[in-house]
Chain A
Amino acid sequence: GAGVSQSPSNKVTEKGKDVELRCDPISGHTALYWYRQSLGQGLEFLIYFQGNSAPDKSGLPSDRFSAERTGGSVSTLTIQRTQQEDSAVYLCASSLGVQKTQYFGPGTRLLVL
């Protein structure tokens, strides 16, 4: 079946612009996670959704970052007023629920000029 998909695959933006990153989880997966992979920081957790609610937002680095999930499916990660340090690969993962294996999408590579 279809895996986790993310769009766009690459995004180049100018400092100060807003960007939206999209994640389509595997059908039926109730848990959805966002991570960030950068050269300096490795792989970092950002936020977790169970259904449409986000019980754990502890990894969001600043209030410029937000995310939502609608219909228990698609999720959007929004970064406002992008900074150069936001440049990274943003990864989405989904799972059948807590304590279940997480399956990762291919990521969105974000470059802030």
Chain B
Amino acid sequence: GNSVTQMEGPVTLSEEAFLTINCTYTATGYPSLFWYVQYPGEGLQLLLKATKADDKGSNKGFEATYRKETTSFHLEKGSVQVSDSAVYFCALSGQGGSEKLVFGKGTKLTVNP
């Protein structure tokens, strides 16, 4: 079945550091890929998405490119802020059917001033 593997946390960075959170997937067909973020005490929010190979999703300075050849969707940000501290989830939804989301385990990011 479909699955998502993302780097284990926690990740601790200083403000303005470069961020990469790795995400790889296993799926049949052509899934859509997502990054969701969960800020402390809040619900899951969609951060960005990509629906086909070579698409780049971007939002709030975060980017991720759908790489079919490496089955990856790594999340990057050039300069993190304290307010980016949160748990980040990589997810996919398959073609057809219910489009249910399959999530990675989540990566907790802490950004220190």
- Footprint of B on A, CB under 8 Å? 31, 33, 35, 42-45, 48, 50, 55-56, 59, 91, 93, 95, 98-107
Contact of B44 among A50, A100, A104 (CB under 8 A): A104
With both chains docked as a complex, state the minimum distance between the C-beta of B24 and any C-beta of chain A, in angstroms: 16
30 cross-chain CB contacts under 8 A: A33-B101, A42-B103, A43-B89, A43-B91, A43-B103, A44-B103, A45-B101, A45-B102, A48-B98, A50-B98, A55-B97, A55-B98, A56-B97, A59-B100, A91-B44, A93-B101, A95-B99, A98-B96, A98-B97, A98-B98, A98-B99, A99-B32, A99-B93, A101-B46, A101-B49, A102-B46, A104-B36, A104-B43, A104-B44, A107-B43
With both chains docked as a complex, state the minimum distance between the C-beta of A4 and any C-beta of chain B, in angstroms: 8
Contact of A56 among B89, B98, B105, B106 (CB under 8 A): B98
Contacts of A50 in B (CB 8 A): 98
Interface size class of B (residues with CB under 8 A): 20 to 34
Asked whether, in the complex, the Cβ of B43 is within 8 Å of the Cβ of A91, the reply is yes
Contact A105:B100 (CB < 8 A) given known A42-B105, A43-B106, A99-B32: no
Contacts of B69 in A (CB 8 A): none
Known: A45-B101, A59-B100. 10 other contacts (CB 8 A): A42-B104, A42-B105, A43-B89, A43-B91, A48-B98, A91-B44, A98-B96, A98-B99, A104-B44, A105-B43
- Give the contacts of B77-113 with A (CB-CB under 8 A): 89, 91, 93, 96-106
**When chains A and B are docked, how far (Å) is the Cα of A50 from the Cα of B46?**
21
- Give the contacts of B39-72 with A (CB-CB under 8 A): 42-46, 49
**When chains A and B are docked, how far (Å) is the Cα of A74 from the Cα of B43?**
19
